[in-house]
Amino acid sequence: MHAHSSWYALQLSAVLLWWALVKRKTGNHLYSLCSSSVITRPSWLSRHHLLLLVSHKRHIFVALPVALAAGTLAGQHALVRLLAALVVSLYHLTESSHTNRHGEYPMLYTSWAMVLPDSLAHAASMGVAIHFVLSCGIAKCIVGGAKEWVCGGTMSTYLNVYGQSTTSKPLLRGLNRWLACRASVWIGLGTLLLECVAVPLTLLLPCARSRSVIGLWGMVGLHVGIALGMSLNVGLVFLTTLPTYVHGFSCDARVGSAEWWLAAGVALLPSALALARGRQLAEDWPCTPCSLFMWSGAQAERLSRLTMTGTTRLVLATRRTAQAHPGLVGALVLHHGGSGAFGTKGAPASPAVHDAVLRATGFTLLHDNLVGAFDLAAEDLPGAGGSAPEAAELQMMRRLLRRLERWLAREQRLLEAESATALERAYFVELDGGGTRVAKVLADGGA
């Protein structure tokens, strides 16, 4: 099989398998599930053009396997590869505008790498694979901090949250509990070493076989472990990333060759830029910092308890909704669909606000470099002249709301799907007994 065609064939197989799993689990096709009450607009794309794309979502989704099949059969033709990259881009933009998930960024980037001649395409795909893994590790270092991420109970927090989940649970709950109690520090250390050291060092290995042993099988092992011990959904949602790992780490570019320098540039320059700036790359399609489980243990615990699993939520509203219903009491809270990347339908005619998780923040999303958003300020800490823990966390949420509202108003990028109106207001609210409506506003961006 032609070298270009092999990636298209692998990617087509992974896409069809992923879609079949989604259909089996939900009874619905992926394009009908990838809808949300909120859509995210890239800064460079007008609201009108994004809505136009969304309105043709079904046709765009159906075009994806057709384009990958064309690449499989005629990958030696440059025009076919270019058209395939355009279709993948339209698909990924449409899908990620609803879901904000990161698992298919490697497919997007590799589809454009395939436009290059054979040897360069293979090298670029290796660069994409390394970049995706390394940037996940860099995000952990910038947001949570390497020391805190390893030693701050981080993996124990994530394991406990998913271990108690009913919708995104691990395949083996017993393994989850054992790992949380006995091995969370070693898992954290191993994850950072794999992402920040082992995978980037595959660039220096002499042959494709050794690169595959560390790069491909290291990532396969990581995601199998995630599925077994943390969350089956999270493990499976990266299925369509596998073809880039298989193809990329099979590259045999000689160290120091032109192909190798291309791979190294793609792999390392984005992370080098982030480290030089001291902040993450923007979350602005097609750019992403790949913020995946980047919070430290303390940050992740507050994020989970205050905005995901408890009786309080961080919610977003349009200015019109905020003005018409200033108290928001009784407003319906529309949630994202979760790690399976499946959203909800559009907002109803009645007053509604939108859960900010996986729209503005979450375990795998962080807009506008809100690093430190879930850190308590020193003056707020109990025993240091600060207030009680509950009051300190409320102060923390007020600061987060102010920062988030400034970004929402400036960027106008999060849109209510039903009205196509920008979300500009943010609130910290308490839910009613059913967990579906606002019972009380605890803080807002102006407080």
* pLDDT tens profile 129-161: 999 999 999 999 999 999 998 888 899 999 999
Give pLDDT, residue 383.
58
The pLDDT assigned to 166 comes to: 86
Contacts (Cβ under 8 Å, ≥6 apart) of 272: none
Tell me, rounded to whole angstroms, the distance of Cα 121 from its chain centroid.
25
Model confidence at 340, in pLDDT bands (50, 70, 90)? very low
Q: 341 or 331, which is more confident?
A: 331
- Mean pLDDT, to the nearest integer, of 412-420? 92
* 163-199 pLDDT per residue, tens: 998 888 999 999 999 999 999 999 999 999 999 999 9
Q: Averaged over 242-256, what is the pLDDT?
A: 96
Nearest to 285 by CA among 38, 93, 36, 417: 93
Helix H or strand E segment including 410: helix 389-411
Q: What is the pLDDT of residue 337?
A: 66
Rounded to the nearest 5 degrees, what angle is found at the Cα of 149, between the Cα atoms of 143 and 151? Answer: 150
Residue range 305-317, pLDDT digits in tens: 999 989 999 999 9
CB atoms within 10 A of CB 197: 11
Q: What percent of the chain has pLDDT over 90?
A: 75
- Top-confidence residue, 28 or 384: 28
Highest mean pLDDT among 347-361, 386-400, 422-436: 422-436
Per-residue pLDDT, averaged over 58-87, amounts to 95
Q: In this predicted structure, what is the pLDDT of residue 46? A: 96
Distance separating alpha carbons of residues 96 and 284, to the nearest angstrom: 11
Residue 51 predicted with pLDDT over 80: yes
Is the Cβ–Cβ distance between 119 and 208 less than 8 Å?
no
What counts of helices (H) and strands (E) characterise the chain?
20, 9
